[in-house]
Amino acid sequence: MKNRAVSLLLVVLSVLLLVSCSSAPPPLTTAWPFEEITMENVQYNGWRNMVFGGQYVFSSDGLGTLGMGKLDLLTNGISEVCLRPDCNHGFPGQILFDPNYCRVSAISEPLFVVEREIFYTYHVFEEVKEKTESGAENNADEIEESRMDVIYILASYNFITGESRDILQIRTTEFEQMYKFSYSNGYIYYCRNIAKVDNPEKKEDYQLSCCRMKIGEYNEEILFAFEEVCSLPEGVLPDPIATENGKIYFTCVESGRLLEVDTESRCARFYLGEGDVSFGTFDSPGAFYVDGYIYFTAVSPELAGTDAEMFVVELHRVNCATGQTEKLTEDLVRWFFVTDKHIYYGMAHDIQPTEAQLEEAGDNLSVHTVKRIDHNGKNECSYKMRLPSPDIALLDVVGIGESLYFRASYFNSEGSTQEFFKVVFCLKDGTVSEIGRKESDSAENKPT
């Protein structure tokens, strides 16, 4: 009798368990053998708003901090990168070199981390006064005019000691602008216009050059002028991706092509655009270099010329030894990230849905498909990621350890302002968490 009672109790508990599980969102289980993300052999460029180093993920928005914030991967603690106790971490709108502005504010763009230093760019304003003459030649009056120049600065900040350093200043002019920087083997690489004469006054007085600085020394070294190694189309500014065996690889956003320059032989070679992949898309996602291949996205021929051509793209790689390109998947992708062993990407339907789509599909739009493939496009497997609400758009992504970290956005409860926060997708157990989303706009406050 006792055994029958126990058996009946177990049956009742099992039924209750099934009922409780069916009323909750269905569990999303992994479809791949879990492997931690490592980036030991990966070099890449592009703007992602997030970088990782050591035990931290750094971001200039979306963590709920006033300035650039850091997320501790070991404790999940979030704190300001700036260590000044009297700093309000606000916008550095003061004149250049004002000691009161925050060195790592919310408008800082994180680039990469080397040991205990984060390297980033930020900008400040400087008032410039000029005297000009007005009136007739024999009766000219001297008047003073002023303008505000924007000065972009490459800087570093030691997030353990609080020591900051301004490395390179670039004043925005007709001939100078902010450039993208990449890190490789102890050096910072970038391209900029270098004056050929003492008092440059016109475009011809400059030559676009590839430069580098050694970490810790920061003396600018000009490696070569592009006009000496190749012919660049008008308006194209190469951005370095990686260096290996004396070669430097670049993305050319404006022309949609990849460029390789051998610094010893001064020989150059372009990839893409000649009977092959027509146009690479490098602006935000950038490109990744791993083991002799460059991984990138390209415009789909089906969508060429449409509004979606830069956001719904194909995934490719090019063999830097042969110049041969290959399409890695038939899927159209929205975002991708390359690690030492795999490529993670999101399906193209993961774009921000319209109001009509939200009303029609309801909660179904909150389920996103994340796929993983090997570097050669083989061994595809997928994972269903359920977001807390269907109004979330996944933007930039970085991966490290057990998780993918997304810069995400949504429109606030009034629908007037786009807010940014972070979505963390744990590859080990499929859980999804939010960081930095305002409580008033959280999923719990959304109507069901």
Could you give the strand order of the β-sheet that contains 418-426, starting from the edge strand earlier in sequence? 393-400, 403-411, 418-426, 432-435
Residue 16 has pLDDT above 50, yes or no: no
Task: For residues 288 and 338, give the distance between their C-alpha atoms in angstroms, rounded to a whole number.
Answer: 7
Q: Is the four-CA dihedral 269, 273, 278, 284 of positive or negative sign?
A: positive
Residue 39 has pLDDT above 50, yes or no: yes
Band (pLDDT 50/70/90 cuts) for residue 261 is: very high
Q: Tokens representing 6?
A: 């126990």
| Pair 44, 287: CB distance under 8 Å | yes
Q: Tokens representing 273?
A: 């655009």
* φ, ψ of residue 394 in degrees (nearest 5): -90, 130
Percent of the chain with pLDDT over 70: 77
Chain centroid to Cα 140, Å, comes to 53
Mean pLDDT, the chain, as a whole number? 80
For residue 359, the model assigns a pLDDT of 55
Q: Are strands 69-72 and 432-435 parallel, antiparallel or unpaired?
A: unpaired
Longest dimension (CA), the chain: 120
Give Cβ neighbours of residue 131 (< 8 Å, ≥ 6 apart).
142, 143, 144, 145
Burial 54-78 (b: 16+ CB within 10 A, else e): eebbbbbbbbebebbbbbebeeeeb
**One-letter amino acid identity for 393?**
A
Residue 376 has pLDDT above 50, yes or no: yes
Could you read off the pLDDT of 388-408 as tens digits, one per residue? 777 788 888 999 999 999 988
Could you read off the pLDDT of 273-321 as tens digits, one per residue? 765 566 788 877 789 999 999 999 988 777 666 655 556 788 999 999 9
Task: For residues 295 and 282, give the distance between their C-alpha atoms in angstroms, rounded to a whole number.
Answer: 10
**One-letter amino acid identity for 299?**
V
Band (pLDDT 50/70/90 cuts) for residue 12 is: very low
Task: For residues 366 and 261, give the distance between their C-alpha atoms in angstroms, rounded to a whole number.
Answer: 44
For residue 375, the model assigns a pLDDT of 97
DSSP string, 314-368: EEEEEETTT--EEE--SS-EEEEEE-SSEEEEEETT-SPPPHHHHHHHGGGGGEE
| Residue 133, CB-side half-sphere exposure with 13 Å CA sphere | 6
Could you read off the pLDDT of 158-201 as tens digits, one per residue? 999 999 999 999 888 777 777 889 999 999 999 998 888 888 88
Match 């083989």 to its residue by tokens.
378
Q: Which is more confident, 436 or 348?
A: 436
Band (pLDDT 50/70/90 cuts) for residue 229 is: very high
> Average pLDDT in the 128-150 region?
69
Spell out the domain ranges in the chain. 38-129+146-172, 178-318
Residue 353 has pLDDT above 50, yes or no: no
For residue 326, the model assigns a pLDDT of 92
Q: Which is more confident, 90 or 94?
A: 90
Task: For residues 330 and 344, give the distance between their C-alpha atoms in angstroms, rounded to a whole number.
Answer: 14
β-strand partners of 94: none
Task: For residues 32 and 242, give the distance between their C-alpha atoms in angstroms, rounded to a whole number.
Answer: 30
Q: Tokens representing 24?
A: 């909750």
DSSP string, 20-68: HHHHSPPP---SS----B--TT-EE-S--SEEEETTEEEESSSSS-SSS
Query: What pTM value is reported for the model?
Result: 0.83
Residue 218 has pLDDT above 90, yes or no: yes
Please tell me the total number of residues recorded for the chain in this structure: 448
Match 């008047």 to its residue by tokens.
143
